[in-house]
């Protein structure tokens, strides 16, 4: 019997627009996932479906082989931190913590108090009076302190300054080490989470484009630089996902095996980092030629 979340042939349409198309994915226990994709690719819709806030047009989602739909016992193990502000503006932060404790039956108050201090949050403030960054911080603290074992973080660092982002990344690693659970993180600051995520899912225009480990992805990603004509002839027949030119020099980005072709002296081959790989993988045709 499979454990974890299993998404089978999931599609979602709004009016006549297809947002997600035949998604098949697994989220295993105790793993940190990066859920990456361009603005409007369908990431938030996918997270909404997994947490049963919206419903699929086709397909189904299972957890430990049981349907998640309307299954409170399963959904109590999931927590979605979303961009949408669900909290009443007048409610004080402390009260929100208590509300969550009531709802989930459990809440790590000690850790929440620690995080309040570390982030410099005034927990007697009304939620609606906080800046964008601090509203995100409240949602983050709740997400890290609920007893759920599958935590979905949609844009967890929206509006956070560099110091606060740093604190969040460190806390994530620490709390994950102490109590391993699954985190699915959707963010546009890929560089910053690249070292945290073990598995990468890339959604492009409503379809799964990549579903692999970070390690495997980087191992198969190359930046090949050198004189334009030499680079062009070297990469011919390879899976070139993007390129940039500077005068007579060219960088070609290749995803996939390089085979055994001989490497000319004048070119350099390096692995791309995750952000570079991702930008090139998800770039639309029409903007690709537009690169600096």
- 12-47 as b/e, with b when 16 or more CB fall inside 10 Å? beeeeeebbbebebbbeeebbbbbbbbeebbbbbbb
The one-character DSSP state at 41 is S
Structure tokens at 65: 């082989």
Residue 133 or residue 147: which is nearer to its own copies going by CB? 133
Site string for its own copies, 87-116 (x = CB under 8 A): ------------------------------
Task: Name the CA radius of gyration of the chain, rounded.
Answer: 21
Closest approach of Cβ 132 to its own copies, in Å? Answer: 5
Report the alpha-carbon distance of residue 168 to residue 152 in Å, rounded. Answer: 15
From the list 20-28, 86-94, 223-231, 271-279, the region that binds its own copies by CB under 8 A is 271-279
How far apart (Å, rounded) are the C-alpha atoms in residues 84 and 135?
A: 11
- Tell which residue, 184, 187, 243, 180, has the closest CA to residue 211: 184
The 42-81 site mask, x for binding its own copies (CB under 8 A), equals: --x-------------------------------------
Tell me the closest approach of the beta carbon of residue 114 to its own copies, in angstroms: 12
3-state helix, strand, coil in the chain (%, to 5): 35, 30, 35
Binding its own copies (rule: CB under 8 A), the pick from 1, 39, 124, 285 is 39
Q: Is 264 in the site for its own copies (CB under 8 A)?
A: no
Min dist CB 112 to its own copies, Å, is 18
Distance of closest approach, residue 41 Cβ to its own copies, in angstroms: 8
Minimum distance of its own copies from residue 39's CB (angstroms): 3
Pick out residues in 189-208 that bind its own copies (CB under 8 A). Answer: 189-190
Name which position in 164, 171, 176, 223 contacts its own copies (CB under 8 A): 164
Least Å from the CB of residue 131 to its own copies: 5
Q: Under rule CB under 8 A, which residues in 114-143 are in contact with its own copies?
A: 118, 120, 130-134, 137
Sorted by sequence, the CB contacts under 8 Å of residue 75 that are 6+ apart come out as 51, 52, 68
- Residues 212, 60 contacting (CB under 8 angstroms): no
Of residues 124, 177, 248, 287, which one binds its own copies by CB under 8 A?
A: 287
CB 96 within 8 A of CB 141: no
Structure tokens at 17: 């627009």
Three-class DSSP labels, 67-92: ECCCCHHHHCCEEEECCCCCCCCCCE
Region near its own copies per CB under 8 A, out of 34-42, 176-184, 227-235, 255-263: 34-42
Q: Does 38 bind its own copies (CB under 8 A)?
A: yes
CB 223 within 8 A of CB 187: no
Give first-to-last CA distance, the chain, whole Å.
Answer: 50
**Sole binder of its own copies in the list 49, 167, 210, 252 (CB under 8 A):** 167
Strand partners, 163: none
Q: How far is the CB of 162 from its own copies (least distance, A)?
A: 5
Looking at the Cβ atoms of 57 and 275, the one nearer to its own copies is 275
Please, are residues 234 and 261 in contact by the beta-carbon 8 Å criterion? yes
Binding region for its own copies (CB under 8 A): 37-40, 44, 83, 118, 120, 130-134, 137, 155, 158-167, 170, 188-190, 275, 278-279, 282-284, 287, 290, 292
């Amino acid at each position: 019997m499979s454990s974890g979340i299993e998404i089978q042939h999931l599609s979602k349409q709004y009016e006549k627009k297809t947002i997600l198309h035949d998604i098949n994915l697994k989220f295993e226990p105790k793993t940190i996932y990066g859920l990456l994709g361009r603005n409007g690719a369908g990431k938030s819709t996918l997270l909404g479906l997994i947490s049963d806030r919206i419903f699929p047009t086709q397909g189904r989602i299972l957890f430990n082989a049981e349907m998640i739909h309307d299954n409170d016992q399963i959904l109590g193990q999931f927590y979605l931190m979303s961009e949408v502000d669900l909290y009443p503006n007048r409610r004080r932060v402390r009260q929100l913590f208590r509300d969550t404790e009531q709802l989930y039956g459990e809440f790590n108050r000690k850790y929440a108090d620690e995080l309040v201090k570390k982030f410099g949050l005034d927990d007697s403030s009304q939620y609606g009076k906080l800046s964008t960054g601090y509203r995100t911080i409240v949602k983050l603290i709740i997400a890290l302190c609920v007893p759920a074992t599958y935590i979905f973080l949609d844009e967890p660092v929206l509006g956070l300054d560099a110091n606060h982002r740093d604190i969040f990344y460190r806390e994530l690693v620490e709390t994950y080490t102490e109590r391993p659970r699954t985190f699915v993180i959707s963010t546009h600051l890929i560089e910053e989470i690249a070292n945290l995520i073990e598995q990468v899912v890339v959604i492009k225009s409503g379809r799964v484009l990549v579903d692999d480990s970070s390690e495997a992805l980087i191992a198969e990603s190359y930046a090949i630089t050198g004189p334009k004509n030499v680079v062009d002839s070297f990469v011919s027949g390879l899976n070139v996902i993007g390129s940039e030119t500077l005068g007579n020099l060219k960088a070609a980005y290749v995803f996939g095996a390089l085979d055994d072709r001989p490497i000319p002296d004048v070119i350099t081959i390096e692995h791309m980092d995750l952000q570079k790989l991702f930008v090139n993988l998800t770039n639309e045709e029409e903007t690709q030629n537009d690169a600096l």
